[in-house]
A and B are shown apart, each in its own frame.
Chain A
Amino acid sequence: MKAPKRTPWSSRSELEELFEMLFSPSADVDSRRKGVARMSIYISSPSCPTFIHLLHSLVSVELLPYPPRGIEENQRLRMMIGMAVVRFINGLVDPLQNGPYARPISHLAASLSIPPSLIALRHQATHEDLPPLPLLHQALGQCIAYLHHYSFLPLLATSSSTLPPGVEERLRASEKRVESLTRRWKKVIKTRLREKEVREEDQSAIEMRKIQRDLTNEPTDVIVDVLVGQGGLVPLAITKRATFNANSPTTPSLKIWLPLLSYLTETAHPDLITRLSSNILDLLLNPSYDYSSGFKYNVGVSVDTEGQKEDKESFKWNLAVWLIWFWSTSNDSVNFILSEEDKSEFSRRIISVMIDFHDDIVIRRLFKAISSTSGSKLNGMDNLLPDPELEEDGLKGLEVDAEISGDDNLDQMENRLKQFEQLANSRKSAPTTKAISKNQISTLPDANTIDDEIPGWHRSTSQEWNPCPIGCSGRA
């Protein structure tokens, strides 16, 4: 395993937060100021990466009022931007000067794909006349964009997969953008729905249109991925989701998402619905799909509790519900239609997995719902299901419950056992550590007895504190 690398930020989410402050579509002067302030913490650390230093100076110069008022300010700004650009290139290139002899900066910079215009500008700003302000200002933007693209985005990329670095970071970036766009979409449209009177030209409408426009520029795959993921089509709260008895998404869901979906199919992504359906089917039919990996902000990776299991099932069912809805609304005024080819393709896939998943409650329901829609090739095939007696409506809810609670009792028991074992271990280990330290030649002068004498200071005891990495609180 590669040795861990020290970072000045405590966690990945802290870094993502910085990214949002600086580069998210909603970033403004205020959030960027905060970003600069955040970077001031990092730059004092010896383990701070070069690009944060560079970004810090570039962004703080960028935050200066532009265009400048007055000649003096103009000159000042030229000096400042010039310095920032020179330091940007030197900072990136210097680590490459590892040979005995100096190599030309232009060669080294080119190997980092720094735009040639910037390289030329550096030379000009160092040795010749200061370049004109507009040129410098534009270069400043280029420098920031460079660091955004080559340093920040790849660093945020979660996994080191086999995709070529460029592709991966672009995908990752657009995923982030789409995520934040859909979040904003939900927020805006919800407030709009709550209000009784909405006009075509008010703030929220403008915002909605902006989001729609922005989304048209993103790749379809990414949009689809985000929509089927957490915080997408399926509401986060279980109570807001469609029940197992419903065959279509809840009305609020439809109201939230249909305007966006229809806009997107009409404009840039005509095949959005097909791909969305296909993707939903992928998820449903692929049991190994780990739903928790989609839970971006969910830290718990522990054993499924009752709630999580229920959550998973209902999540799957709600995706299925959307699929059913797409499938069945072909005649509606909404103009997204699954073509007959698609439908037959999907039917084939469903049937082919039925052999293995005939006892998966979601798939059964899906199968049933789809086969009952008119014009489906599965029509009448529902009696092929192996255990028709389970399909009785009255048993459905019960069945799920029984299954889950059965497993869960076991889980619970196992959990408790683990807890007991841990407790026992900690009791055991407490005296042993003491024994060890006594055997050591180095016994601390019995810390606990003296320590509590200082008012306001308290030495944590092993009962209230557990060893944990530096930066964590380690409460027992």
Chain B
Amino acid sequence: MSALAARRAAALAASSSAPSPSSSTPLKGRSPSPAADIEESEGEGSSESESEGESSTPPPPMSTSNKKRKIRRSPSGNIPTPPQRYYNASTEQPRITIPPTQANNTTVNQNRKRRFSPAVPAEISNEYPSDSDDSSVGDSDADIAEEEGSGEDEEAINEVDEGRIKWALPMSTDSTPGPSRRTKTKPAVLDSISNTSNFNPIEGINLYKMSEDELSASGLQDEYSGDGLILSLAKDETLIIAGTYILTPLSRSITISSCVLSSDESSHQIFAPTSHPIPIIAPSPATSSAKSVTWLNDLRLPKKFIKTGTLFLIRENPCGIDGLRFGAIPGFAHIWLEEIGNWGLRGVHPVIGSFPTPIYPHITPPTWSEALSSSLPLNATQSNSLTHYESAEEPFVGIVKGPKRTGKSTFARSILNNLLEKYEKVAWLECDLGQGEFSPGGIVGLWILDKQVIGPSFTHPLIPYRAHYLGTFTPLTCPDEYISSIQHLIEIYKFDIQHQHASFSSSSEVDSSSKINDIIPLVINTQGWVKGLGEDLLRSIEQIAEPNHIYTFNSITSHNEFDTSYTRNGNSHSQGNGWTNSPPYNTNHLPDLYSTDNTSKRKEYKLESAPTTALQARFTAADFRVLSIISYFHCSISSPTSNDTEATAKSRTRWDFSKPILAINPWQVEYGVNKIINKVYLIGEGNEGILFDDLSIALNGSIVALVETDRSEPSGSEDQSGELYVQGRIPSLETNYLGLALIRSITCFSTSSTSSVLNGNDDMTQNPSGKIQLLTPISTETLKRCNGIIKNGSIEMPTPGLMDWTKPINEQDGIAGYNWDNVPFLDVSGIEVVGGERRRWRKNIMRKGM
């Protein structure tokens, strides 16, 4: 118990000496420093146009990465101008202003002490701009899975290190060589910012353990089980919990991850890996909601327990995602921390007092909360009075846009979550191919949510309502398909989803819930590629979607034209250079049902970027892609059956990390004309050139999309729909994406000879068939609908996903009893030849004297 006491003492000290992280004003966010951008994009393939844009972003005179490097390296006390220019001019001054040269050394020391002492509590937390960006780092820009190969680990590490240094720079400009150097050597420890809770747990007072039986005896009934902890938060207390858990608000309402959860008998899965910002649980400032769960009074709580606080229940979340600690994905083994947390619950790690692992909490910048509260009637949740929403004829359609790494996805998720407090269902349109919120990427899709999602994107894969598979992380290679897919989905939304007849609502207890169920609002998340073609695409999306709430992230990269280009009248750009008339679209494709003048009702919000920390730079967008793809294949996604909802289905989603992907028993299915899989589409680079004879070579080992094609389509129509594979055929918009699959082997029954191909298509349509072994997380319910596959080679299984991580790699053994020569797709010879590496484009290289 003494340890606990010590922790309490520390927590008390911390809370008294420092303002809570949430109440502190974080440094105004800056978008990624230009240097980091450069670093990142150097290795990543994206368009020339983007690179030009990027290179032009830093303010001209001296804010280039090299300048910074030089500055950092200069051993003399030559103090550079501090990087205020990376902050918005309007924000408060960075803490460290130009110190006098003499004071330099002492400052260095102080800084070092403060930075590296693990004992230092929350007081520094101010200094570290905390961050709330998470999955949005999965910018869509064309970094086509660059450094996922473990062969390039070293490089990746270097990159990360480089990144860290730069991220850390604003804090340590005055201590020129010191901490940055250390950063390189001791990455794990130094960032242990004591971002901690100011909640002071005292058993029996504000924390009480309860067994499963006691809970269910009290009246708790839901899809989760297990013992739990009941906590009571006082008004100004906050609590940070890392790991994963089930959160059930019991009385009043709480805020977490910029969203409000009220006590409406529902429980929420919370995912808070240390790789992402950790959500802070705090009582909601909204006073009106005094509601509590009906069975609260039946809970047998100790007499001293503070029942007047905000009460909530924490339970274990047995979804299996913490199985990552077995090492399935290199670099992500420790993001769920140890198995059992301090409170004895599996996967629940309260961050109280000093915390051994560096974490950074989710912070809601002021502009975010303003935008959220002014656009959404947060406090009107319980009231039945008509809000301006219902009175307005137009349902909510919001679009979130901004450059990469600014917190787009995080913010979009907050809107979604907050809307779900008000509406029964909310639609989500994913336009970010780089990292989808509910899929591993490469998809434009429409999801309908009936439950808040709290956690980074890889923790909630879901089957889309309707989606199109483009199979690439960037729209650069397929702008036309990209836009037409989005247009198609928006039409579907407007015709089929937006207005629901109340009686169609799946929820039976329409009256019991006060939520709106005849309107489904829409949240549109866009890609972070905002320059060049990306800008044109964004504008197209906006014109098609006709949003009435526009959330734009500010960043230092935004120039004036950046801002204006998104307004309605910003079309002056479209008469210029090259790309502007493409992709073609028709803005008047729908009858304007709801209003005659959209523009007047359109609301625009300017948002500041999420604050950034050095910790963020531990993982690159490519790392997160590896994470989401591999964890996807370890998952089994449950889909709703006839008598339950998306939410309960989601609670059944499980991850199984007990064995590597190569040891998961595959599905077997036949392909061929009139077989289960009767359509194969190859899209992406080089697709038109792939011969029928090579089909099995093209498919083997690849990641494909399982799709449902329109069965009613008359065969033998002009698009040759009757055939299994036609060179250069593109899936129609009727094709619906269901999920990804890994083709782990393919056997061709028919020996369609070369001659038959050369002779034409006639006889080859008859015989091609074979058997596919594939792995997919989608449920049998969904799998039933699948009758076709789409392959685009740009999304492939990352190298760690091909390996058996349960055994050490060595030269003799190979993999799974196959020696290395017989392991497909992996080469251990180590031969290096000219041009033998993946492509790298030169980017943002400067000329001497510029």
Query: Are both chains from one complex?
Result: yes
Q: Which of B636, B798, B816 contacts A468 (CB 8 A)?
A: B816
Q: Does B780 contact A451, Cβ atoms closer than 8 Å? A: yes
**Which chain B residues numbered 302 to 332 have a C-beta less than 8 Å away from chain A?**
316, 318-323
**Which chain B residues numbered 57 to 74 have a C-beta less than 8 Å away from chain A?**
65-66, 69
Q: With A7-B827, A10-B824 as given contacts, are A468 and B687 in contact (CB-CB < 8 Å)?
A: no
Q: With A6-B151, A453-B780, A469-B818 as given contacts, are A462 and B665 in contact (CB-CB < 8 Å)?
A: yes
Q: Which residues of B contact A436 (CB under 8 A)?
A: 658
The residue in A6, A92, A461, A465 that gathers the most chain B C-beta atoms within 10 A of its C-beta is A6
Closest to A156 in B: B831
A-B contacts, 9 listed (Cβ < 8 Å): A1-B810, A4-B826, A5-B149, A150-B835, A442-B323, A443-B656, A456-B670, A470-B825, A471-B825
Query: What is the size, in residues, of chain B's interface with A at 8 Å between Cβ atoms?
Result: 107
Q: Is the CB of B716 closer than 8 A to any CB of chain A? A: no
Q: Is the CB of A51 closer than 8 A to any CB of chain B? A: yes
Q: Does A442 contact B656, Cβ atoms closer than 8 Å? A: yes
Q: Which of B665, B675, B697 contacts A459 (CB 8 A)?
A: B665
- A1-40 Cβ-contact flags toward B at 8 Å (1 or 0): 1111111111110100000000000000000001011111
Q: Does B828 contact A1, Cβ atoms closer than 8 Å? A: yes
**Which chain A residues numbered 434 to 456 have a C-beta less than 8 Å away from chain B?**
436-437, 440-445, 447, 450-451, 453-456
Q: Is the CB of A47 closer than 8 A to any CB of chain B? A: yes
A46 to B150, CA, bound (A): 14
Query: What is the size, in residues, of chain A's interface with B at 8 Å between Cβ atoms?
Result: 86
Q: Does A50 contact B839, Cβ atoms closer than 8 Å? A: yes
Q: Is the CB of A474 closer than 8 A to any CB of chain B? A: yes
Q: Which of A7, A40, A447 contacts B686 (CB 8 A)?
A: A40
Interface segment among B209-217, B421-429, B739-747: the answer is B739-747
Q: Does B822 contact A41, Cβ atoms closer than 8 Å? A: no
A470 to B773, CA, bound (A): 10
B residues with a Cβ closer than 8 A to A are 65-66, 69, 144-146, 148-151, 153, 316, 318-323, 346, 636, 638, 652, 654-663, 665-670, 675-676, 684-691, 693-694, 697-698, 700-701, 742, 744-745, 747, 773, 780, 783-784, 792-794, 796-799, 801-804, 809-811, 815-831, 833-842, 845-848
Q: Does B780 contact A41, Cβ atoms closer than 8 Å? A: no
Q: With A45-B794, A151-B833, A461-B665 as given contacts, are A37 and B825 in contact (CB-CB < 8 Å)?
A: no
Q: Which residues of A contact B318 (CB under 8 A)?
A: 441-442
Q: Is the CB of A48 closer than 8 A to any CB of chain B? A: yes
Q: Which residues of B contact A40 (CB under 8 A)?
A: 686-690
A371 to B663, CA, bound (A): 61
A464 to B440, CA, bound (A): 31
Given contact pairs A150-B833, A154-B831, A470-B745, enumerate 11 new A-B contacts (beta carbons under 8 Å).
A5-B151, A6-B826, A8-B825, A10-B700, A42-B793, A44-B793, A45-B794, A48-B839, A97-B842, A442-B321, A444-B656
Closest 3 CB pairs of A and B: A442-B320, A44-B793, A471-B824
Min CB–CB distance B681 → chain A (angstroms) = 13
- A292-315 Cβ-contact flags toward B at 8 Å (1 or 0): 000000010100000000000000
Min CB–CB distance B426 → chain A (angstroms) = 27
Q: Does A44 contact B691, Cβ atoms closer than 8 Å? A: no
Q: Which residues of B contact A441 (CB under 8 A)?
A: 316, 318-320, 322-323, 346
Q: Does B838 contact A470, Cβ atoms closer than 8 Å? A: no
Q: Does B747 contact A442, Cβ atoms closer than 8 Å? A: no
Q: Is the CB of A54 closer than 8 A to any CB of chain B? A: yes
Q: Is the CB of A100 closer than 8 A to any CB of chain B? A: yes
Q: Does B697 contact A38, Cβ atoms closer than 8 Å? A: yes
Q: Does B803 contact A456, Cβ atoms closer than 8 Å? A: no
A112 to B842, CA, bound (A): 17
Q: Which residues of A contact B815 (CB under 8 A)?
A: 469
Q: Does A458 contact B834, Cβ atoms closer than 8 Å? A: no
Min CB–CB distance B445 → chain A (angstroms) = 22
Q: Is the CB of A95 closer than 8 A to any CB of chain B? A: yes
Q: Does A4 contact B697, Cβ atoms closer than 8 Å? A: no
The residue in A11, A100, A455, A470 that gathers the most chain B C-beta atoms within 10 A of its C-beta is A470
A455 to B151, CA, bound (A): 41
